[in-house]
Structure 1
Amino acid sequence: MSELNDLFRKRIGFPENEVITFETLEIILEKSAKAIPFENLCIIDNKKREITTENLTNKILEKNEGGLCYELNSIFYLFLIENGFNAALARGVVYNHAAQSYLTLGRTHVTILITHNNEKYLIDTGFGGNLPLKPVPLNGEAVTSDNGEFRIKKVNSEHGDYILEMKLKHKDTEWKIGYAFDSRKPIYDISEFNEIQTVIAEHPESSFNKHPLITRLTDEGNVTLTNTSFTQWVDGLVTKEEIDTPRYKELLKQHFDIKQ
């Protein structure tokens, strides 16, 4: 077993010698979503590093930080490969519901595709609070997890050949678009995502270079922290607290075990 494999299992609390099968992937996905936060702190602090296996291992598995989609799905992809899965990465475009259109930053979302028994599935550990927590088949069949319902629709658009749709638990009553992605251009080299990191860090329309954002799923729902607010979803009930800098640092340590 590699260092990455051992460290990943330790980070999410999964036995180091247990064989991971397709059927146990949902356990891994749920543990990952609760242990590893989606966050942009390195972008905000101007501490971004080159996207390499070594740097991602150091950041996420040794320093116990989180990351954005291109980091979280890259490390999960590497973990899948280590455990014998037929996996590839893919790029996509997130849908902006406020503007009722796709983001104009290009294909800056990164997701994972795996093949199992000649069927293709999407896996995503880097979509904030919108994680499927189960492999989602590309054949259109919906899956249900603790986080809601998810399905994939075949499309032909400038953004890709499929879209992920979701109906989040306690939040959505209708299906809504998560993002479009392109399955026809599989990616196996994570260094390609240095380009995405640059766009996310520098583009004026990027939402991730304005203020800190950190979120993760919990047993009861999810928690989301910015430098001005702390939001908790607990069994479908939401509470929001306006905060100052000292409280931000306190909550960062309390809920995400990150010190600043």
Structure 2
Amino acid sequence: MDVDAYLARLGVAWPAAADLATLRTLQERHLAAVPFENLSVHLGEPIELTEEALFTKIVERRRGGFCYELNGLFAALLRELGYDASLHAAQVFRPDGSLGPPLDHAAVVVELDEPWLLDVGFGRFARHPLRLSGVDAQADPEGDFLVLDAPYGDVDVLLDGKPQYRLEHRPRPLSDFVPMAWWQSTSPESHFTRSLTCSRPTSQGRVTLSGAKLIETVDDVRHEVRLTGDDAVRTAYRVYFGMVLQRLPTLPGENPLTSPSLSPTLP
């Protein structure tokens, strides 16, 4: 991996130490610089879960991705920087409180003096590392996070009292997520095939583009505008996300300027 190029993509210098302060900076910058997006699903691009393919997409092509891509490459970067970082599977809680399928999500765990949870691929989630051994609520710009014991050594992660996902204790290689990544990107039951989104946090909130719908949340106030014309949509991708697209993603049977609303994991 070209670590210098990856760090330049994040806008950070080579860290002096593999410590918690650096970890926090890397997570913040990754979230700000690399969007959570599922454009490949609607551009007919395959989701390739190898470090080489992910580096080409995220660093060289300056794109984003969804959880397996973003957290998969981020974990590899952290290992290159000297961290003990591993991928862990999670099951996402549905709105009715039930759990999604196994390997529904991938997150990163880093072992320092204690284990820390990092996630740059869940849409709205913690901007700072979370103590997995913490028993009290952990304040974050996105809200208050709580980590609770779950069966079989797993942990449930809650945001403002609402369960987000159940994280496995055991680490997994990136290749374990290939079948579920294929399902997420091809099944008509997956919300990634039924929605189109590109999103990242900002210093004052979040910006999201779904088709021609541009949503900016500033100090908890939501502003929504519908863009007119392909050129306006392309400009929004470039200005807000740093992405230059030769063609626009579309949902099956949809015009790009009439795309439906956001993925349910986003505000």
Deviation of residue 165 (structure 1)? 0.8
Deviation of residue 101 (structure 1)? 2.6
SS in 1 for 2:93: strand
Task: Work out whether residues 166 and 176 of structure 1, in 8 Å CA contact, stay in contact via their aligned partners in 2.
Answer: yes
The residue aligned with 1:182 is: 168
Task: Work out whether residues 93 and 181 of structure 1, in 8 Å CA contact, stay in contact via their aligned partners in 2.
Answer: yes
The 5-angstrom pairing of residues 234-249 of structure 1 reads 234-244=218-228, 246=230, 247-249=232-234
Q: Which amino acid aligns with 2:99?
A: Y
TM-score (norm 2): 0.85
The 5-angstrom pairing of residues 71-110 of structure 1 reads 71-97=69-95, 99-103=96-100, 105-110=101-106
Task: Work out whether residues 44 and 211 of structure 1, in 8 Å CA contact, stay in contact via their aligned partners in 2.
Answer: no
The percentage of aligned residue pairs carrying the same residue is 26
TM-score (norm 1): 0.87
SS in 1 for 2:191: coil
The residue aligned with 1:131 is: 126
The residue aligned with 1:172 is: none
Q: Which runs of 4+ in 1 moved over 4 A?
A: none
Q: For residues 48 and 193 of structure 1, what CA distance do their matches in structure 2 show? A: 14
1:251 aligns with 2:236: yes
Task: Work out whether residues 47 and 185 of structure 2, in 8 Å CA contact, stay in contact via their aligned partners in 1.
Answer: no
List per-residue Cα deviations over 1:228-256 (Å, max 9, x = no partner): 42111111211112345523323112211
SS in 1 for 2:115: strand
Question: How many pairs align?
Answer: 244
Q: 1:141 to 1:114 in 2, by over 3 A?
A: farther
Q: What CA RMSD, in Å, does the superposition of the two structures yield over aligned residues? A: 1.9
Q: 1:150 to 1:48 in 2, by over 3 A?
A: same
Q: For residues 187 and 131 of structure 2, what CA distance do their matches in structure 1 show? A: 31
SS in 2 for 1:215: strand
Which segment is superposed worse, 27-36 or 138-147?
138-147
Q: Which amino acid aligns with 2:176?
A: E
Q: For residues 192 and 185 of structure 2, what CA distance do their matches in structure 1 show? A: 7
1:193 aligns with 2:177: yes
SS in 2 for 1:10: helix
Q: Which amino acid aligns with 2:167?
A: F
Deviation of residue 20 (structure 1)? 3.5
Q: For residues 5 and 175 of structure 2, what CA distance do their matches in structure 1 show? A: 21
The residue aligned with 2:190 is: 206
The residue aligned with 2:203 is: 219
Q: For residues 49 and 200 of structure 1, what CA distance do their matches in structure 2 show? A: 10
Task: Work out whether residues 162 and 182 of structure 1, in 8 Å CA contact, stay in contact via their aligned partners in 2.
Answer: yes
1:41 aligns with 2:39: yes
The residue aligned with 1:156 is: 151
Which segment is superposed worse, 133-142 or 192-201?
133-142
SS in 2 for 1:101: coil
Q: Which runs of 5+ in 2 are unaligned?
A: 246-267
Q: Which runs of 5+ in 1 are unaligned?
A: 168-174
List per-residue Cα deviations over 1:129-155 (Å, max 9, x = no partner): 223422333333332222222121101
